[in-house]
Chain A
């Protein structure tokens, strides 16, 4: 009987040990770094208390990065969620070549972010060198600098972000749509509901949990993981207009070699993400 009690522990042991070594330990170690000043090379670390956290409030670059990240999320999340919802609804209505289209929309999601960044930075090349400008010029639209224009750089990144995430969101939406009982639509049709009415009064309410899930994951994604594309395309420029929290903390840590301060930024980012997740979870539970 005794060995049966041991079996479950043994079963979870490998994961648990690896989790401790590669997740818990770095987490606590990195937290301890938020209280020191350290260049990442030196043998000695200087204890500075909470001054790394206090510095955040006075750091214009940090506030700028925070502002950019929130702006980016506010643009990308609603755009990508609404576009993918509409597209999935259309595809779900038995469009010809439905499977092939689904595959095509999903493709951007599985491509490496670095490759995506490189390709898009070519598309966005300034003046006559970029594909997008050449196409726009064909239609007589004025040539833009895109990633080099302080007013357009963030929007250019939003376009990449939306393009990249639509496919993934669609897969989840389509799964949600399939789960809605067809009898509801039939009943609505008998009552005389039109296409748009069916979408607003049946699809949307039934899909609410899915929408919330997609919104939560998209928000976290745009807060936490908007790194590779920025690093490859703009590296935070021009004049810091596309600097995100993650790229900024990377620069602080690995260009300025301030590991303590970088860790403090990381923990603030962590706190923001947890907060958003809790708020969004509350929403779902209320429904």
Chain B
């Protein structure tokens, strides 16, 4: 009997310990992470003390392979540093993982993500103000527009690692069949071409309507082309409840309602040849051209008042930890974003390079000569407009895309839709 009770007691303690171990370690960690090194002064590196940097990203397996190769090279150059790169989640789901990690003090040292997350991440108080620790030579190497995509309240909290722009990708065979020689350059031409290209189950262009960021982003290019802005001049509310915004909303939904763009699509409407034109990034163009061997052309997005496109960039964030780790993380970020290393990363992953030193490198120049669609994308980059990296942006984006969907399905008119967006924006920006 005694033995049995003892065994039972031991078992209970073991289970208890198992249950608690998760809690205790997480509870103590935020305290350890507190001393933040926000100083810009260079600190002498502790003599070859081994440093481990945890790095969360959302790359596809092919890109992860390239990343691992580059990391191995970096580690060979920096013997004491180990970069533990790990795929955690892709897209917006990553932010949810980070949220859980931040709450339990399990956040990585380095995070790959979207600049639109800056606001919410900064509110955790654990984000390193990178603008203060980056050296001037490095900052000068990054175009201001892309660097500022990660600016929040005047500070820079992230370093761009990849850029992409939306541009027009079109199916040359379908264009030839419809007797269209050149891709559209204005809204009117877009509408007319889409009309010519629509027949039976084939549509002219794909303008997404699902309630998500892709829909909002695609629509925003129309807003910018019409000289509209997402936010008002002091950033305290939306700035498109005006003629520019209404016209953009009207044109976007009209193309769909008139039947020249599909309301429902399969896996990829361009590959399925359901549509002749898509608004997508150079990554998609790469896949259509190299993987699916389609006869594809690329062009700048059609404009109206001016030319404009969405500038998308992925960024590296850094969370506070101890000095040596922060220093190693910063060094690795610089290594990845400049010169030949970055040129190689861009070439092999299909992203556009962010730093001037990479873009002007011999390696990237000779690559561009053979890949004209990448040159076209780089050209589009100069018309790129970034989305505001404010805390409210994700909510505003949700409202815009949900409203576009409702207008297309005839639940409300364009004016009613704009009214709804304004009403919701008022409560978001209250």
Contacts and interface: CB of A to CB of B under 8 A. Distances in A.
Nearest to A42: B123
A40 interface: yes
A129 B272 contact: yes
A7 B5 contact: yes
Interface residues of B, number: 42
A145 B264 contact: yes
B12 A10 contact: yes
A212 interface: no
B405 A21 contact: no
Interface stretch (A74-82, A178-186, A237-245): A237-245
B391 A39 contact: yes
Interface in A8-49: 10-11, 13-14, 17-18, 21-22, 39-43
Contacts of A254: 96, 99
Interface stretch (B78-86, B298-306, B328-336, B394-402): B394-402
A134 to B, nearest CB: 13
Contacts of A3: 1-2, 5
Interface string A137-176: 0000000010111100000000000000000000000000
Given A17-B16, A41-B124, A6 B5 contact: yes
B46 interface: no
B266 interface: yes
A10 B394 contact: no
A235 B272 CA distance: 22
Contact of A125 (B5, B9, B16, B266): B266
Given A239-B411, A255-B398, A40 B99 contact: yes
B154 interface: no
Given A13-B12, A237-B210, A256 B266 contact: no
A18 B409 contact: no
Given A21-B23, A239-B405, A255 B411 contact: no
A260 interface: no
Contact of A14 (B16, B125, B274): B16
B375 interface: no
Interface band, chain A:
35 or more
Contacts of A208: none
Contacts of B102: 41
Interface string A235-273: 111111000000000010011110000000000000000
B406 interface: yes
Given A237-B210, A257-B120, A14 B15 contact: yes
B110 interface: no
A228 interface: no
Interface hub of A125, A235, A238, A240 (most chain B Cβ within 10 A): A238
B201 A21 contact: no
Contacts of B124: 41-43
A128 interface: yes
B211 A256 contact: no
Specify which of A41, A126, A147, A254 lies most central, judged by the most chain B CB atoms within 10 Å of its CB. Answer: A41
Interface string B90-123: 0010001001001100000000000000001101
A138 B391 CA distance: 51
A255 B406 contact: no
A41 B201 contact: no
A129 B406 CA distance: 25
Nearest to B395: A256
| A6, A149, A240, A257: most-surrounded residue (chain B CB, <10 A) | A257
B279 to A, nearest CB: 19
A67 B146 CA distance: 44
A130 B102 CA distance: 42
Given A40-B103, A129-B266, A238 B405 contact: yes
A127 B210 CA distance: 17
Nearest to A234: B210
A237 B264 CA distance: 11
A128 B103 contact: no
B405 A41 contact: no
4 tightest Cβ-Cβ pairs between the two chains A and B? A148-B264, A42-B123, A129-B266, A126-B264
Given A14-B12, A125-B266, A129-B266, 8 more contacts: A3-B1, A13-B12, A14-B15, A41-B124, A129-B267, A238-B405, A239-B411, A254-B96
